[in-house]
Amino acid sequence: MLVLGNYPQRYRRFGNIVHWRIIDCVPIDDYTKADSVLKDIGTFDQIVFTSVNGTKYLLERLYTISKDARALSNAKIAAIEKAFEKYGKQVAAVIVEPVAGNMGAVLPKEGFLKTIRKYCTKNGGLLIFDEVITGFRVKYGSIQDIFGVKADLTYLGKIIGGGFPICACGGRAELMDNLSPQGAVYQAGTLSGNPVCVAAGIATLKLLRSQKPYQTLAKATEKLCERLSQALDEHNVKHTINRIASMFTLFFNPSPVTDYASAIKSDTEKYAKFSTKMLKAGIYLPPSQFEACFVSIEHRDRNFGKTITAVRKLAFRYL
């Protein structure tokens, strides 16, 4: 299987709506016998994931998934250590985007992911990586080997569907076997593993494997970000650009953006004006300051040139 062959987890389950990847974490408290989840503030999972409480069935999960999650403050190593000192073996799992994409692209601080791994292992909790954005985007397969951290469960989406709705969860057999029909935790969906979505995903992954576009994409994105920053500097527009591989975010923020606390200091009004004007110029950017941009293999030099020309005009007139 293309997905399995490029991830450390050998067992997987498919769904069709990304949100359910989080709810299907329910087996973790059956496995760990703990009842709290730590989540990184500012990531997508802060919005969706709030609790697991030993629930076994779909309706129970929908009504009880909003009580016991604890938040990791500002992606700081000290916050992880403090949380584990307080909760210890009560922690069933820590869920985190290894590279945040839902407060803008924010890379993990040095040692952040390894610290989570260490404390999860020490206390018997599970480390869950949300790689819905990074999976098969930063590189072919998982981002985990880049940071030298192996997660217990991994969630995927977006690229593995080739433009169609799909998601997948993978982990060790001893974890995944908690899901029905092998285990007691119900997981199903009318369109889970839909053959059209799976076929599109397989075709996409085969193309990515054969074409090997990642180095070219990374270089193109790096060049685009350099030109973007230069265009804004020419008009003294304070900004920061975060980038990894082909994903990046332009923050209207004069200081480094390293976590949620620094991200929310960005000038959201200026970004809203900027994205609206860019759209009118034919450049479609995320409408929110707290989203990532993605360069694809279909983008060409002429697209980048048009983007930079529009930025220069807007920076002079409106920013």
N-to-C CA span, the chain: 49
Could you tell me if 181 and 230 lie in one domain?
Answer: no
- Alpha-carbon gap, residue 29 to 264, rounded angstroms: 33
Is the same domain home to 138 and 261?
no
Position 179 scores a pLDDT of 79
Q: Region 140-146: what's the mean pLDDT?
A: 94
What is the pTM assigned to this prediction? 0.83
The first and second tokens of residue 157, run together, are 């989406």
What's the confidence (pLDDT) of residue 182?
Answer: 82
What pLDDT digit, counting tens, does each position of 13-45 carry?
A: 676 655 445 445 545 555 556 555 565 555 544
Count other C-beta atoms under 10 Å from residue 112's C-beta.
22
Residue 150: band (very low, low, confident or very high) from pLDDT cuts 50, 70, 90:
very high
Extended strands (E) in 59-118: 70-72, 91-96
Domain extent at residue 287: 214-317
Write down which residue in 188, 208, 228 finishes a domain: 208
Structure tokens at 151: 């997660």
Q: Are residues 271 and 237 in the same domain?
A: yes
In a shared domain, residues 255 and 183: no
CA distance linking residue 167 with residue 199, whole number of Å: 13
Instruction: Looking at the structure, tell me whether residues 155 and 189 fall in a common domain.
Output: yes
Residue 123: burial class (beta carbons within 10 Å; 0-12, 13-18, 19+): middle
For Cα atoms 31, 35, 39, give the angle at the middle one, nearest 5 degrees: 100
Statement to judge: residues 247 and 178 lie in one domain: no
Q: Are residues 140 and 18 in the same domain?
A: yes
- pLDDT confidence of residue 119: 92
Instruction: Classify 318 as helix, strand or coil.
Output: coil
Q: Are 231 and 308 in contact (CB under 8 A)?
A: yes
201 with 222, same domain? no
State whether 251 and 102 are in the same domain.
Answer: no
Q: For residue 243, what is the domain's CATH number? A: 3.90.1150.10
Helix (H, G, I), strand (E, B), or coil: what is residue 245? coil
Tell me how far apart the alpha carbons of residues 215 and 101 are, in angstroms, rounded to a whole number: 20
Report the amino acid identity of residue 80. Answer: I
For residues 18 and 39, membership in a common domain is answered with yes
Exposed / middle / buried, residue 148 (Cβ in 10 Å: 0-12, 13-18, 19+)? exposed
Q: Do residues 196 and 48 touch, judged by C-beta distance below 8 A?
A: no
Q: How far is CA 80 from CA 73, 111, 196, in A?
A: 8, 11, 41
Name the pLDDT band for 59 (thresholds 50, 70, 90): very low
In whole angstroms, how far apart are CA 79 and each of 73, 171, 219?
Answer: 6, 26, 35
Give the contacts of 317 (CB within 8 A, at least 6 positions apart).
none
Residue 196: pLDDT over 60: yes
Cis peptide before 256 (omega within 30 of 0): no
Residues 156 and 12 occupy one common structural domain: yes
Q: How many CA atoms lie within 13 A of 154 on its CB side?
A: 28
CATH number at residue 165: 3.40.640.10
Of 159, 175, 208, the one marking the end of a domain is 208
Rounded to an integer, the average pLDDT of 120-144 is: 92
Beta bridge partners of 91: 36
Last residue of a domain, one of 173, 193, 208: 208
3-state secondary structure of 37: strand
| pLDDT in the model for residue 6 | 62
For residue 252, give the 3-state DSSP assignment: coil
Residues 180 and 232 grouped into a single domain: no
* pLDDT tens track for 254-312: 999 998 889 999 999 999 999 999 999 999 999 999 999 999 999 999 999 999 999 99
Number of structural domains (the chain) is 2
